[in-house]
Chain A
Amino acid sequence: MLVLAFDTATPAVTAALHDGGRVLAESTTIDARRHGELLAPAVERVLREAGVTLRDLTAIVAGTGPGPYTGLRVGLMTATALATTAGVPAFGVCTLDALAYATELPGPFLVATDARRKEVFWARYGDPRTRLDGPRVDKPHDLPGELPVVGAGGRMYADIVGPGRISGPEHPSAGALAALAAERLAPLSAEEAAELARVPEGRVDSVEKAQELSVLGPPRPIYLRRPDAQVPGAPKKVTA
């Protein structure tokens, strides 16, 4: 198995190659404004470092967010376009799941990332592999309970959530994203994998559903907010 994974849903632009057992090559750059400039060269670099071509891949996996939309779309567009040229399937994995998977916590905990506008994207996990609630977007005040908070969203608002609850890692790693995807892909037949690539990512209400659905989905963005736009009223008068 060979999985190429990348994520552009947070300030970290990450890319990694995973063979089902270990990370073969990995690249991480923290820069919230240059996802579009950094991702393609990073993908090229990890492929070259591992001596792998796109056609050798089992799957391409991109973080579906939630995350600031402009950067998020770079990763998903890249995954979809690369996959069509190489004839390999593209999957999406919720970015918060990759952060959860990378934590040392046995669970339960929250994962939160920066949603800008003084809000966080967050989800609640039973353990590093199981999302129980979310993803959602809320004010940091509204994060539930006493649980530890993994990810930059907790650190940014440490004064609100309480410094004692902050836990790592801060940003998702492509290594973790690739490892998580490889773990979920391994037991699947090609048909089952193809079916999963069409299941839309959505809110899940039970542990069973979370385990069943929350990891691999189609490479489509999780937006959680509607576009800012207002339907105009009558034209404004220019004469007072």
Chain B
Amino acid sequence: MTGRDEPIVLGIETSCDETGVGIVRGHTLLADTIASSMEEHARYGGVVPEVASRAHLEAMTPTVESALAKAGLRFSDIDAVAVTAGPGLAGALLVGVAAAKAYALGLGVPLYGVNHLAAHVAVDQLEHGPLPKPAIALLVSGGHSSLLLVPDVAQEVVSLGSTVDDAAGEAFDKVARVLGLPFPGGPHIDRAAREGSGAAVAFPRGKYDDGTLDFSFSGLKTAVARWVEARQAAGETVSVPDVAASFQEAVVDVLTRKALQACARHGVEDLLIGGGVAANSRLRALAQERCDAAGVRLRVPRPGLCTDNGAMVAALGSELVAAGVAPSTLEIPADSSLPITAVHV
């Protein structure tokens, strides 16, 4: 099936603070609309679940309508509805799942409840075409830091490792606070780091040589805070660019090292990086350098598709439809800790 005969899938994502609505036809992206409540969370220094849930309810209908308008479609053109069933914030997921069920029921089309992490993997196909089977995926954001083996994103995804404490993006937020940079920290650290040296301070790399594919960022975060506090207590000025660059270097060093270890161990030649932290310029550069040296092909979707969005959910839904997977029932729960072994529910 190609072109205009392929089914049109509406995707809904509400696992955190973004109300994302995407529409795809096969691997073609028709619309990707986002309403974010990030501004409301910024003053709290982190995402407040109840604030996010309230915002999803307000934003859903206008976001869906604007996605349809952008795609030049009407509700009656939609052939299937996909929704993030987990993992994520329970109350936030529930709003998206309720909306998706109502759209599927109202339109008389099948519903697909999908895994948020698998959707982060599937979205790259909208930009770079079919994903080689198997591939390794590194997903890094404020909510997740995972290494996945992806034999087939519609059928099977295997967890190889994940963070044992903070998510990588969380460490960026916390270090940004220590350095007096605003929330969310990722873009601010990235920007500050461009003026500094990644070799200025040798911050610890958690689990660097422990032989696992797991991550740990809590020790690094604390080490940065101690280092900064010690300098401040001594009345020294702290170079924000140097600390930002050195912290960032420690994070991306561990991330890329373990990602390439995963490729080597599993004999996989394709690495995909997704999640909000994939927008980090140093992560992209170092990953490219190390992939080139190891003969691994690197795929990173454009930043707008790396952060949480509805297109990724629609992309995975479309994959499930094409694979002939049975739709979900209207009884599916939102599961805040949905394991990656459940690509769809």
| A→B interface (CB under 8 Å) | 34, 36-41, 43-44, 54, 69-70, 73-74, 76-82, 84-86, 221, 223, 227-232, 235, 237-239
Contact of A73 among B94, B106, B222 (CB under 8 A): B94
Interface segment, one of B26-34, B291-299, B331-339: B331-339
Docked Cα-Cα span, A81 to B59, in Å, equals 12
Contact between B57 and A76, CB atoms less than 8 A apart: yes
| B→A interface (CB under 8 Å) | 43-45, 48, 50-51, 53-54, 57, 60-61, 64-65, 75, 90-91, 94-95, 97-99, 101-103, 105-107, 177-178, 222, 225-226, 229-230, 233, 329-334
Number of A-B contacts (CB under 8 A): 114
- Chain B residues near A79 (CB-CB < 8 A): 102
- Chain B residues near A84 (CB-CB < 8 A): 61, 64-65, 75, 106
Given contacts A84-B65, A85-B106, 6 further A-B contacts (CB under 8 A): A37-B331, A37-B332, A81-B102, A81-B106, A228-B50, A239-B225
Contact between A70 and B97, CB atoms less than 8 A apart: no
Docked Cα-Cα span, A36 to B85, in Å, equals 11
Docked Cα-Cα span, A80 to B63, in Å, equals 13
Contact between A229 and B44, CB atoms less than 8 A apart: yes
A70/B53 contact (C-beta < 8 A), A37-B331, A239-B230 known: yes
Contact of A238 among B50, B90, B226 (CB under 8 A): B226
Listed A/B pairs (27) with beta-carbon separation below 8 Å? A34-B333, A36-B94, A36-B97, A40-B105, A40-B330, A43-B105, A69-B91, A73-B95, A74-B94, A74-B95, A77-B98, A77-B99, A78-B98, A80-B60, A80-B61, A81-B99, A81-B103, A82-B106, A84-B64, A85-B75, A227-B48, A229-B44, A235-B178, A238-B225, A238-B229, A239-B226, A239-B230
**CB-CB nearest in chain B for A54:** B106
Interface of A is mostly: helix
Docked Cα-Cα span, A43 to B290, in Å, equals 54
Contact of A40 among B95, B102, B178, B225 (CB under 8 A): B102
